[in-house]
Amino acid sequence: MQQNEELEELMVRYQQGDPIAVTDLVQKLSPALHRFFTSQFVSRRFADDLLQETWLRLHQVRQTYRPGEPVLPWVYAIARHTRVDHYRKTRRVEDREQQVEKLPERAAAAAPESRGPDLEAMLRELPESQREVVLMLKVADMSVEEVARATSSSVGSVKQKAHRAYEKLRGLL
């Protein structure tokens, strides 16, 4: 819980215009947000763009954060909406553009032998909503209540998605 209090304090200081608080928030939250984007099977370049866009949006709406509320659900809700908006924009562009020439596929580099299951491949098997819940719960270490806020879902819905995701992952193991 100490991390939540620290993030809340940084966010309040950010709202008050403290540049050090902004730097600290970016340093603390960016790695997890970047993992959130890359684990959604977005290329690293797009993940970098989405991270930057998320911070721009956070800056624009920073005054909407209510002191005393958890910061992570608020931040992840903005990140999630940024990703969805990016996907919609990309789809609109792809629908309008016609590919003139397809590039040849590059030969995949030989993957080093791994000792455990391929977690990324297993996560790809999950529906997006379940994958998103698992990533927020396990990678971002958010509570069920925080994930519910971030995804605009009920706590029961988050628990159900997590349960179904865990069952599918167990089956894949």
Whether 111 is in a domain gets the answer no
Using CA atoms, how far apart are residues 10 and 6, in angstroms rounded to an integer? Answer: 6
Q: Is the pLDDT of residue 1 over 60?
A: no
> What CATH code is carried by the domain that includes residue 4?
1.10.1740.10
Using CA atoms, how far apart are residues 111 and 46, in angstroms rounded to an integer? Answer: 23
Mean per-residue pLDDT for 61-81?
A: 93
Interacting residues of 42 by C-beta distance below 8 A, sequence separation 6+: 50, 83
Interacting residues of 30 by C-beta distance below 8 A, sequence separation 6+: 51, 55
Give yes or no: residues 164 and 86 share one domain. no
Using CA atoms, how far apart are residues 84 and 78, in angstroms rounded to an integer? Answer: 10
Please, which pLDDT band fits residue 74 given cuts at 50, 70 and 90?
Answer: very high
Interacting residues of 57 by C-beta distance below 8 A, sequence separation 6+: 78, 81, 82
Question: How confident is the model over 95-129, as pLDDT tens digits?
Answer: 666 655 555 565 555 455 556 677 778 888 888 88
pLDDT value for 46: 84
Give yes or no: residues 9 and 66 share one domain. yes
**36 and 128 Cβ atoms separated by less than 8 Å:** no
Whether 80 is in a domain gets the answer yes
* CB-count exposure of residue 153 (10 Å: 0-12, 13-18, 19+): middle
Give yes or no: residues 10 and 90 share one domain. yes
Give yes or no: residues 7 and 48 share one domain. yes
Domain that holds residue 84: 1-94
Interacting residues of 22 by C-beta distance below 8 A, sequence separation 6+: 14
